[in-house]
Amino acid sequence: MPIDRRDFLTSSAAALTAAVLPRTAAAKPHAAQPHVVVVGAGFGGATCAKYLRLWDPGIQVTLIEPNPHFTSCPMSNWVVGGFLDFDYLVKRYDKLPKYGIRMVRDRVTGVDGEKRLVHTQGGEKIAYDRLVLAPGMEFMTEKVEGYAEGAKAGKVMHAFKAGPETLLLRKQLEAMPDGGVFIIASPPPPGRCVSGPYERASVAAHYFKQHKPKSKIIMLDGHIDVVSKGPMFKAAWKELYPGMIEHRPNNLAVGFDHRTMTVRTEFEDQKGDVVNIIPLQRAPQLCKDAGVRNDALDRWCRVDFTTYESTSVPNIHVVGDPIMSNMPKSAHVSNNQAKIAAAAIIELLHGRQPDPVPVIGSTSYSVTSDHTSGSIAVVMRYDPVKKVYQRQPEGGANKTHSEIEFEYGRSWHENMWADTLG
């Protein structure tokens, strides 16, 4: 019997809440309160810190974040397309201390896993019983020859982390002449938000259709196809922007000449007026220095998926983008991983066993215009035998976009921010 999409999302949310809650009320804390340090106050770190305190107020939580404000990467393409102002993405951290979280505005420069110490740029040495690393990811710009020089000249940017590059890309599109070429070069998985480049092409096409109708978008895609919400994006492009978006799969960018504005791929050279290259990604240097960037290619962090504890360094947990897994690297997944990690840490600190079969939900929305969107919603349950998360029946992606999905998406973003930041 088919399940209604709204019912699916509602029941999935309820199941996820039940799945991550500690199984029993937290025991009284030991004479010395356990201390959990969380590094990074994004969708993963801020959520983990908040729920640790919500579910066990006996645990001391310190959250270290160098930035004064939270800036949302989800919805940043709306700024690129001119749908909203950048300030809308910037949120305050002022509600988190109300949960009893100690906020430290500083940058972590090192982790001593043996002594269980975190070192900060400001000179603090913070001891921990459990450490949660949620530092996002870094871009492997060295894999694109000439990228560094082009970025220094202001001729190329990834704009895949909301900030100054988001605004720069918008300004460059506004300055591009009608009839110009906008190149978006994206990498193969794994990486952050695989649907992001396709959404970016959609919002740019929406802007061009209104203001620069002779312009063109060329997507140099390291993927084998439009792999996220593919049917939905292709249908939307055909309906709204016929002939404006050219998608070229299996075409990874390997070089860029900012003097001629030429992108070199493994197969061709392509000139553009505005160039947006999103390089390959990996867990940040902090993860490598801490010993938890431990896969064979030195890119990602292997963890125990019931606790998110590193497989190489005890008492260090990793959540969000740095993890090597078959799960999407998305805001919703980071938020869910953080809750599972928080629940597991509480169990471990009190000598109990965490849930052996946790459940994760993944929902994401991608706009196709300033009033239409499509989405994907799935639930994944951990398989302790295969040691991977298995996608459960039902759920999936929209094949078409719609105005109601746009409104759902707007609400989803607001709810994610509220759940993460208080």
| pTM over the 0.85 mark | yes
Angle made by CA atoms 202, 207, 210, in degrees to the nearest 5: 125
Burial of residue 21 (number of CB atoms within 10 Å: 0-12, 13-18, 19+): middle
pLDDT at position 2 is 38
pLDDT at position 21 is 52
32 pLDDT band, cuts 50/70/90, is: confident
Q: Can you list the domains of the chain with their CATH numbers?
A: 5-137+283-421 (3.50.50.60), 140-281 (3.50.50.60)
365 contact partners, CB below 8 Å, separation of at least 6: 373, 374, 375, 405, 406, 408, 409, 412, 413
Average pLDDT over residues 125-131: 98
Structure tokens at 191: 């990486």
Average pLDDT over residues 43-49: 98
22 pLDDT band, cuts 50/70/90, is: low
pLDDT tens, position by position, 301-336: 999 999 999 999 999 999 999 999 999 999 999 999
Distance of CA 279 to the CA centre of its chain: 15
pLDDT at position 24 is 37
Is 80 exceeded by the pLDDT of residue 26? no
Average pLDDT over residues 144-161: 98
**Residue among 11, 76, 377 nearest 228 (CA):** 377
Is 70 exceeded by the pLDDT of residue 6? no
Average pLDDT over residues 79-99: 97
pLDDT at position 12 is 43
Is 90 exceeded by the pLDDT of residue 244? yes
